[in-house]
Amino acid sequence: MLHKPSGGAGNGTAAAASRLMSIGTVLNALREEFPEVTISKIRFLESEGLIEPQRTPSGYRKFSPQDVERLAQVLRLQRDHYLPLRVIREYLDALERGEAVQLPSLGRPGEPQGDPLTGRAGSVGASGRTAARVGREELMAAVEVGEDALAEWESYGLLAPLPDGGYDASAVTVAGLVVELGRHGIEPRHLRAMKASAEREAGLVDQVVAPLRLHRNPQTRAHAEARTRELAELTVGLHSALVQAALGVRLP
């Protein structure tokens, strides 16, 4: 007959183990606040390095209360601030290191803007959040390029200004990646295939969520945004995995 340790570290280890949760239990715990969350979403966030659950010898995920809280933080930052996963990961990692960091202000598209480059607050909408918009000069300054380079990117469809001449928050990310690829000899003209592929993937996602956007129920229409975001993340994850497989490498 097996006996549990009567005290000390053994009890602490047993108590910690008893608090670990399966992915199904985590899903149920999160769904009250995040009804759109799915098991595939949790697995995707793990693959992106947002959480690191323990694994049993047979490979099953086991989540601690800290893992669940971090998941909830990630989902709130996506929902309330529309932040990219990379930004969320860096922000939460800095908090865990005890660093004093300020939450990036990127908001949802279409809401009044704040400035992601200067840190100045923009006007605040009814929701109390600010959305990032950046001017042409600020975009060029952020990625350290001139007018000719930006015009070239636009000619290939990699970037497109908004009607007022500014750009949304994603333009800074796209421009930065174009610059980094250029340092490796990949020119903007080479990226037209990536742009076309992205548009096809976006079209596929749109086909899935279009019925939700057209639904009579306002809650169902609101759910379309969350579903679009989730499908976009899964599409990006699949694209990344396929590229890595084609290259025969595993990126960190």
What domain range is 215 assigned to?
189-252
CATH code at 81?
1.10.1660.10
Tell me if 118 is assigned to some domain.
Answer: no
Average pLDDT over residues 71-99: 85
Kindly report the average pLDDT of the chain as a whole number. Answer: 78
Confidence of residue 150 (pLDDT cuts 50, 70, 90): very high
Tell me if 109 is assigned to some domain.
Answer: no
State which of 64, 79, 104 marks the end of a domain: 104
The contacts of residue 140 (CB under 8 Å, 6+ apart) are 146, 147, 149, 150
Name the range with the highest mean pLDDT among 87-91, 109-113, 116-120, 210-214.
Answer: 87-91
Tell me if 147 is assigned to some domain.
Answer: no
Task: Note the pLDDT of residue 113.
Answer: 38
Tell me if 179 is assigned to some domain.
Answer: no
Domain count, the chain: 2
pTM check: above 0.75? no
State which of 49, 81, 104 marks the end of a domain: 104
Mind listing the pLDDT tens digit for each residue in 100-117? 877 765 444 344 333 333
Tell me if 99 is assigned to some domain.
Answer: yes
Tell me if 195 is assigned to some domain.
Answer: yes
Tell me if 29 is assigned to some domain.
Answer: yes
Tell me if 26 is assigned to some domain.
Answer: yes
What one-letter code names the amino acid at 161?
P
Mind listing the pLDDT tens digit for each residue in 14-30? 555 568 999 999 999 99
State which of 104, 123, 140 marks the end of a domain: 104
